[in-house]
């Protein structure tokens, strides 16, 4: 039955404050199993001129988009094969791992690897999950794949899951598991 | 650069308070991208007799183990084939989904399904991720499988990921993806 | 010497906030006998979008008039025999008790009962007292009656007291004591 | 849906803190008509050495008994005709007003006045109400009188109400209304 | 690593709030030697109508200029020999003490005393220090004197220090030490 | 009429907390000229395990003695010519400036310089003033000197003032002004 009060410098937009409120609510609920109505959270905004740390005013920078949004944007760019857009979302040391343990550092390598595996692929998302973290956030998404096999036949409803590490607004790695091989067998 | 203060009824043990502090820190860091040293969190404990909601004292129940712990306990019980122990951790409507879309409601069904697939299997965990939530928490774990194929040959280093929904201290569902088929192909 | 801080969703009008501040001041003074200047109270208003309970925004409804105001309105309506107006302020199970233990559920019964007792009656109020409560508030008012006896002679300065239970903005009961009989004797 | 936090110097006993919590709850409920579960109150006790007003430590004196308790003690002393005990609870300027407007400054005057009116009288209390206030508190109690008329016959169930002003732990005035005359008529 | 939150009635201008924030920062740093980045301070402004002390609204008066500013204004007036202006800044019991222990109650006495000591004098300030206090503040300033000796020769770079007591926006005393005699010797 | 609440990790001793309370009181009084009784300050101590900055526990180190105490200790050591003790209180870049602008980096230089000026000197302190600061604190002390001139005659009542910069528990500089020359002239 906790009360959580957050002192925040004025200026964060409502979507950002919403994500804070939801995040604190979820953590409290998950850790304490308190009944939802016993979890009260309020953000108390103070003027920038009314806040000091180390006797210095702080000028909060606009936070990056939500990690889930970054991942959605990347997946969208990849699906329409807009590699230029997709690359702007990648950290310098980005790495991918695909089923069977195939690893790539560049998107082009992935494209080459995928070419003999399917002609076209698309994802239907069932759910995105975000794991908040100090160093980086993790975003999971899972759902089903549909597309066209190399022989021109269609497939759909094949389970997949992706795991992304997001740091500073950029993707650090992507790990992929799916049932393509289980189905194709 | 927020300050988060949590008014909590006295009596939660330190591990629980640690999880709250870590959770609020991670949410703040992830949403605001504030520098870590600018994120200050304090729990202010008040005596049970000093707290009222609706003019009634509240008697907080001990929270369940962390979702990650529940999942670890379940996976341990399954690995040593202690189905009795594993079943105590399952919600009445528990459901499992395995590669290829195989679905089971009972652990015994899983065991039957797995029998022709491998003689023995074990998991080496790389990491657990917990997604806090109002309705339920989600725990992901991934790593590699090692074991023995039906023909007696050994395997190891095969990627897997599990996703568990945890509600009220019980597992609601388990979804599994892995590279067994990709490797076996 | 307490400090009381109240986190309130923005939007309550000043009269409502005044009543809160006065009420908390009075409770503190009465319970602790703290010197008045040691009792500090501040309402900290937060935006509706900055408040969550159970991860839900709350949309505070406008509170009903002060219980004292409801009682004053009722007494005024009764004094000018505007029964229609008076009835809108009554709960479905409203009950009245008058000197000698006479009980009525309807205003018309009271009027009938009063007819042989006086031709006309009016109240001069000395003071209203409100007792805050979780289930209902109680309003007392006392002062003197003036009017005309059945024989046409006037009376005045006769002590009375009324006690009203107010719940959800409606009157639940009225209890009346006065000196009419003591004086008439 | 307010949250009320009270910073209090350590050392008040639990009964006093209970009365504060109940009082703030009742005020909040009465003024806002907020749903009870939305009213959260916490007392945060600070060490005496951690509190300053005007750069001076404050040494809170033990508060007097609850006004209701003082009134109950007085009524008990009067009922058993322990005038010595009753007088210790009276302010120097104590005054009483009884039905018909009879006024007394001394308890003995009341006793003389009552002698021809009844041989013996006792009170059965239905309820006590306390009105908190900055200058003084008011305590109401009502119920029924039972006793013996001057002619030796018994009476009971006769309605009464008393109103006491309590200041600094002493009774400042008592006002009495009852149906003795209405019934005796 | 403290967090300091200040509940302040709305209406103080930013320069005043800045001085509070700087003052609290400096006290915290000096007493705790906490690392600067661990010192977080926020002023939470509340509407005048949302604040009560002793159940009364408080109408904060505009504070006087900073003590340092008062001293600077006085020193400026004295340097340009505007005694009328300088006198408006003096408390009724103002007193001055100069090197050798010379004491004056009136500015004219100082002027007379100084006449044979130098033809003209000016101050170059190195630094002002303010000592906050409950009864009065103290302002120190030090630096060097330059001017003209009685014989017409110039001097400069002679060390001085002044100490002023400031109370209620007025100067209560001035104490002066300098090296004029050490140099002239 | 501010309320100041300080969230502090448990473990600072009472003298340290006293200095914080006094310092915040003095700053508030000096900046706002609020009436003293309107300045309320409370330190709310939280367990070390209940505090996080950047998701890390903080282990507050014991703060150094008050700057005034460090200066008193140094002056005491110098007065009894305990140079070894005095040196332990000096920063590596310590510097002194004496009347006439004489500057020294070592205590022995001061002793040499003073030898022809007086046989013995002692200080009677009228008052110490501490100026809190982010980088360093400043301590002023003033009063009168008494001692013995080189010719064996005694002196007393000669005004002096010292100014010390204190950083990290060590003295960074000492500036001295006095009337020795004014008197000796």
> Running along chain E, 185 residues long, what does each successive block of 10 average in pLDDT?
94 96 97 92 96 92 94 96 96 96 95 93 97 97 96 96 97 97 82
pLDDT number for residue E34: 85
Which residue does chain D place closest to E55, by CA atoms? D134
C37: closest CA of chain E, how far (Å): 4
Inter-axis angle of helices B14-32 and A14-32, to 10 degrees?
Answer: 160
Q: What is the average pLDDT across F150-163?
A: 96
Rounded to the nearest angstrom, the minimum Cα separation between E26 and chain B is 19
E41 within 8 A of E35, measured Cβ to Cβ: no
Please indicate if any CB of chain D lies within 8 Å of the CB of B48. no
Residue A185 has pLDDT above 70, yes or no: no
Q: CB-based burial of residue B154 (10 Å sphere; 0-12 exposed, 13-18 middle, 19+ buried)?
A: exposed
Spell out the alpha helix ranges (H) of chain A.
14-32, 67-79, 83-87, 107-114, 180-184
In sequence order, what are the beta bridge partners of B125?
B143
- Which residues in chain B touch residue A157, judged by CB atoms under 8 angstroms apart? 101
Q: With contacts defined as CB-CB under 8 Å, which chain A residues touch C52?
A: 21-22, 25, 39-42
Query: CA nearest D16: which of D72, D61, D57, D47?
Result: D61
The conformational region for residue E55 under phi > 0 = left, psi -120 to 50 = alpha, else beta, is left
pLDDT of C142 > 80? The answer is: yes
pLDDT in tens, C5-48: 999 999 999 999 999 999 999 999 999 998 899 999 999 999 99
For β-strands F3-9 and F40-46, DSSP reports them as parallel
pTM reported for the whole predicted model: 0.93
Q: Residue E185 has what pLDDT?
A: 62
Summary mean pLDDT of chain C: 95
C-alpha closest to that of E24 among E140, E132, E164, E141 = E132
Residue F54 has its nearest CB partner, among B14, B36, B45, at B36
Return the residue in D44, D47, D53, D60 with the most chain F beta carbons within 10 A, the one to mutate for interface testing.
D53
* Structural contact between residues F147 and F118, judged by C-beta atoms closer than 8 angstroms: yes
E30·F185 Cβ contact <8 A: no
E3-9 and F3-9 strand pairing? antiparallel
Higher confidence at residue D150 or residue A34?
Answer: D150
Q: Please check the confidence at residue A37 and state whether its pLDDT lies above 70.
A: yes
What is the C-alpha separation between B77 and D152, in angstroms, rounded? Answer: 85
**How many Å apart are CA D167 and CA D133, to the nearest integer?**
9
User: What pLDDT digit, counting tens, does each position of E80-105 carry?
Assistant: 999 999 999 999 999 999 999 999 99
User: Which DSSP symbol is given to C82?
Assistant: -
Query: Do residue D40 and residue A37 have CB atoms under 8 angstroms apart?
Result: no
User: Residue F111 pLDDT more than 80?
Assistant: yes
- The answer to whether the Cβ–Cβ distance between D36 and B51 falls below 8 Å is no
Confidence of residue F185 (pLDDT cuts 50, 70, 90): low
As a whole number, the mean pLDDT across chain F is: 95
List chain F domain ranges: 3-57, 67-184
Q: Whole-angstrom Cα distance, residue D137 to residue D141?
A: 13
Task: State the average pLDDT over residues D73-93.
Answer: 96
How many CA atoms lie within 13 Å of D22's alpha carbon, on the beta-carbon side? 15
Residues in A closer than 8 angstroms to E5, CB to CB, are: 7
Asked if the C-beta of A61 comes within 8 angstroms of chain E's C-beta atoms, the answer is: no
CA distance A161 to E4: 46
What is the overall mean pLDDT for chain D? 95
- The verdict on a CB contact (< 8 Å) between D1 and C9 is yes
Task: Place D185 in a pLDDT band, splitting at 50, 70 and 90.
Answer: low
User: CB distance E16–F9 less than 8 Å?
Assistant: no
* Nearest neighbour of F7 by CB, restricted to B37, B38, B42: B42
- At D38-67, the pLDDT tens digits run 999 999 999 999 999 999 999 888 899 999
A94 vs E37: CA distance, rounded Å:
33
CA distance D63 to chain F (A): 21
Which CATH number is E67-184's, of 3.30.930.10, 3.40.190.10, 3.10.450.50, 1.10.760.10? 3.10.450.50
CB contact under 8 A, A46 and E41: no
Rounded average pLDDT over B74-103: 96
By the CB < 8 Å criterion, does F53 face chain A? no
Contacts of F49 in chain B (CB under 8 A): 14, 17-18
CA–CA gap between residue F58 and residue F52 (Å, rounded): 7
C36–chain B Cβ distance below 8 A for any pair: no
Instruction: Tell me if chain B has a CB within 8 Å of the CB of C55.
Output: yes
Q: F50 to chain A nearest CA, in Å?
A: 14
CA F121/CA F110 separation, integer angstroms: 13
Tell me the chain D residues in contact with residue A1 when contact means C-beta distances shorter than 8 Å. 40
Q: Is the pLDDT of residue C173 over 80?
A: yes
Please check whether residue C56 touches B, CB under 8 A.
no
Provide CATH code, domain A3-57.
3.30.429.10
pLDDT for res D60: 82
Q: In this structure, what token pair is assigned to residue E10?
A: 């709305």
Residues of E45-75 as b/e, b for ≥16 C-beta within 10 angstroms? bbeeebbbbbbeebebeebbbbbbbbbbbbb
Residue B36: pLDDT band (50, 70, 90) is very high
Contact indicator for A72, A128 with CB cutoff of 8 Å: yes
* Whether the predicted pLDDT of F1 surpasses 90: no
Nearest to C54 among A5, A14, A37 (CB): A37
C52 and chain A in contact, CB less than 8 A: yes
Question: Which of F54, F55, F134 comes nearest A55 by C-beta?
Answer: F134
- Inform me whether the C-beta atom of residue E55 falls under 8 Å from chain D C-beta atoms: yes
From the list D6, D99, D169, the residue facing C4 with the nearest CB is D6
Question: C50 and A37 in contact by Cβ < 8 A?
Answer: no
Task: Choose among F127, C160, A118, F2: nearest CA to E19.
Answer: F2
- Contacts across the B-D interface (CB distance below 8 Å): 49
Contact F12, F44 (CB under 8 A): no
Task: Name the residue facing C55 among B54, B55, B134 (closest C-beta).
Answer: B134
Would you place residue A1 in the very low, low, confident or very high pLDDT band (cuts 50, 70, 90)? confident
Q: Residue A156 — pLDDT band, cuts 50, 70, 90?
A: very high
Q: What is the ipTM of this complex?
A: 0.94
- Minimal C-alpha gap between E6 and chain B (Å): 13
């Amino acid at each position: 039955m906790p009360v959580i009060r957050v002192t925040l410098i004025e200026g964060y937009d409502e979507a950002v404050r919403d994500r804070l409120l939801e995040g604190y609510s979820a953590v409290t609920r998950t850790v304490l199993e308190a009944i939802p109505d016993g979890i009260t959270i309020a953000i108390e905004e103070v003027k920038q001129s009314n806040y000091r740390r180390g006797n210095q005013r702080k000028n909060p920078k606009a936070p990056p988009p939500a990690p889930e949004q970054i991942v959605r944007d990347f997946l969208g760019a990849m699906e329409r094969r807009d590699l230029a857009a997709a690359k702007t979302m990648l950290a310098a040391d980005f790495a991918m791992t695909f089923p069977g343990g195939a690893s790539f550092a560049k998107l082009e390598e992935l494209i080459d690897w995928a070419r003999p595996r399917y002609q076209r692929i698309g994802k239907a998302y069932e759910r995105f999950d975000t794991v908040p973290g100090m160093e980086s956030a993790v975003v999971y998404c899972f759902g089903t794949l549909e597309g066209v096999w190399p022989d021109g036949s269609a497939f759909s409803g094949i389970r997949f899951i992706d795991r992304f590490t997001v740091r500073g607004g950029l993707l650090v790695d992507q790990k992929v598991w799916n049932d393509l091989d289980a189905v194709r067998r």
